[in-house]
Amino acid sequence: MFGIKIFKEETELPYPVIYSKRKSIAIQVQENGEILVRAPIGIHQKILRNFVEKKQDWITKHSKIHQKKFAQKKEYNSDEIQQMKAKLQEYILPKVEKI
């Protein structure tokens, strides 16, 4: 069953919050290191703020990890992508033909 999701960019909170039919609060660290908070519909902002403040060490640690990974992420040019596709076809086609 799918719940209703409401995305709000709160002016009082310095991070985006997604409200949905859920029972718990969750903090998600995005690939680029930014945080996203998921919360039940109707929860008070003070509770959210306190929860995030208590988890600040965890957020800082994981945000740095994700930012580092994001910075090291390799961007492929079109030639490299074509080479990878060719290698995959050489590897996959013989295996698929056996099926």
Range of the domain at 13: 5-97
56/33: higher pLDDT: 56
| Predicted pLDDT at 39 | 94
The answer for residues whose C-beta is within 8 angstroms of residue 69's C-beta and 6 or more apart is: 31
The strand order across the sheet containing 5-8 reads 5-8, 17-20, 35-40, 26-29
Number of domains in the chain: 1
Q: What is the pLDDT of residues 17-51, one digit of tens each?
A: 999 999 999 999 888 778 899 999 999 989 999 99
Residue 1: is its pLDDT beyond 70? no
Tokens at residue 27, please? 């903090």
Alpha carbon distance 58, 90 (integer Å): 44
Alpha carbon distance 77, 73 (integer Å): 13
Task: State mean pLDDT over 55-81.
Answer: 85
